């Protein structure tokens, strides 16, 4: 894995810089590849399973979110779209995201990896469906096997210990989020669909050029087609981020997130939800670093709907 090798490199570099004369290996190399290392990782300090690497102790407790703090995101499964009526009778287009069993699977720190990030895992998977390196990663961290992994850069105060569960209450109804996903593939698309060209005329003698892109350049003077010329080609299937998506409702009992509008990707695809960059949520209200379930809290919570205000928007428009 790239992350592991990065960590290894950083550690080796640090060793060569600091230790200098004493070439103490960070681990016995035979131990890494033996079957024994799979079983017992608790005494193996290189596994980094306990609270992240570098001897840093990360506690799971609520903190105060500063203006520069950056929380982790969550991994969601796009379930599909529907519509709801809010309390004023306006129809809200809804995308349902399922936050499926999100768990912190790795903590990346500046001491070890050179940056602060949290790797989250979502879903479940069987061992036979994973590669050996993936299984080794999960074992080293001591977390259950996950279907999807994703790294979210965070600030130092937003670090969470490995194994922390992140639920949908990480977000507040009414806040704005950015949703990243892989768009649906459209195949080989023409310029009208792909770039929004106007195409050619429908009549007036137009021949074979109703949807064509027209000219692609000049004459002999450049004698070539400029770079970045918009042409037909593969469309979709690339990562896109939809920004400023409004969270209409959250369902903590089922870990469902109801967003207004569209998010990239087909149904059943993984999307990554983060706090919005532009429309920043109120830092005083957000659960920081994430929402921790308190004792004595009812298990089945009612869905929380965004505050729509007390003024009827339809009557106030006059």
Partner 1 sequence: MQSLVRNVCRAGSRGAAARLLELAAAPVAAAHPGAAQPSSAVKHLWQPYGLARPIGVDQSVRVQSRVIPAAASGFGHCAKVLVATRGLSTVGNAAEVASDSDDSTSLAVEHPPRIKFKRPDKTARHIMNILNKEAVDKVRSEREIPDVQPGCMIQMRLQVPENKRRELTLKGIVLGRRNAGINTTFRLRRLVSGIGVESVFPLYSPNIKEIKILDRKKVRRAKLYYLRDRVNALKK
| Among residues 16, 34, 42, 82, the one that binds partner 1 under rule CB under 8 A | 82
Taking the complex as a whole, how short is the minimal distance between the CB of residue 273 and partner 1, in angstroms? Answer: 15
Q: Does residue 56 contact residue 111 with C-beta atoms inside 8 Å?
A: yes
Taking the complex as a whole, how short is the minimal distance between the CB of residue 165 and partner 1, in angstroms? Answer: 12
Give φ, ψ of 125 to 5 degrees.
-150, 155
| Among residues 139, 211, 260, 279, the one that binds partner 1 under rule CB under 8 A | 139
Based on CB atoms, which residue is closest to partner 1, 98 or 288?
A: 98
| Among residues 34, 198, 244, 267, the one that binds partner 1 under rule CB under 8 A | 267
| Among residues 107, 145, 179, 259, the one that binds partner 1 under rule CB under 8 A | 145
DSSP bridge pairs for 242: 179
Stretch that binds partner 1, among 190-198, 231-239, 268-276, 282-290 (CB under 8 A): 268-276
Q: Does residue 236 contact residue 185 with C-beta atoms inside 8 Å?
A: yes
Based on CB atoms, which residue is closest to partner 1, 4 or 135?
A: 135
Interface with partner 1 (CB under 8 A): 35, 38-39, 77-80, 82-85, 88-91, 96, 98, 123-127, 129, 135, 138-139, 144-145, 147, 254, 256, 266-270, 312, 314-315, 318
């Amino acid at each position: 894995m790239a992350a592991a090798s990065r960590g290894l490199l950083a550690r080796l570099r640090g060793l060569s810089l600091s230790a200098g004369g004493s070439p103490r290996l960070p681990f016995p190399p035979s131990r890494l590849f033996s079957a024994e290392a799979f079983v017992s990782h608790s005494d193996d300090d290189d596994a980094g399973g306990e609270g992240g690497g570098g001897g840093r102790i990360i506690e799971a407790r609520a903190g105060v979110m500063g203006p520069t703090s950056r929380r982790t995101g969550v991994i969601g499964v796009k379930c599909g779209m529907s519509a709801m009526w809010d309390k004023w009778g306006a129809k809200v287009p809804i995308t349902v995201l399922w936050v499926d069993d999100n768990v912190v699977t790795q903590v990346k720190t500046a001491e070890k990896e050179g940056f602060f990030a949290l790797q989250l895992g979502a879903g479940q998977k069987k061992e036979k469906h994973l590669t050996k390196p993936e299984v080794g990663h999960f074992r080293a961290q001591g977390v259950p096997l996950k279907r999807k992994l994703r790294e979210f850069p965070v600030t130092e105060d937003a670090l969470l210990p490995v194994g922390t569960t992140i639920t949908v209450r990480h977000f507040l109804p009414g806040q704005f989020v950015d949703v990243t996903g892989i768009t649906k593939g459209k195949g080989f698309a023409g310029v009208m669909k792909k770039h929004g060209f106007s195409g050619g005329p429908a009549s007036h003698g137009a021949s074979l050029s109703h949807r064509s892109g027209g000219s692609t350049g000049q004459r002999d003077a450049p004698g070539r087609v400029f770079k970045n010329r918009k042409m037909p080609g593969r469309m979709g299937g690339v990562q896109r981020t939809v920004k400023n998506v409004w969270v209409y409702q959250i369902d903590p009992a089922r870990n469902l997130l109801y967003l207004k509008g569209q998010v990239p990707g087909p149904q059943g695809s993984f999307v990554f939800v983060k706090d919005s960059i532009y429309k920043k949520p109120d830092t005083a209200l957000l659960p920081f670093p994430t929402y921790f379930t308190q004792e004595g809290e009812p298990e089945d919570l009612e869905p929380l709907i965004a505050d729509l205000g007390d003024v009827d928007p339809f009557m106030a428009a006059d």
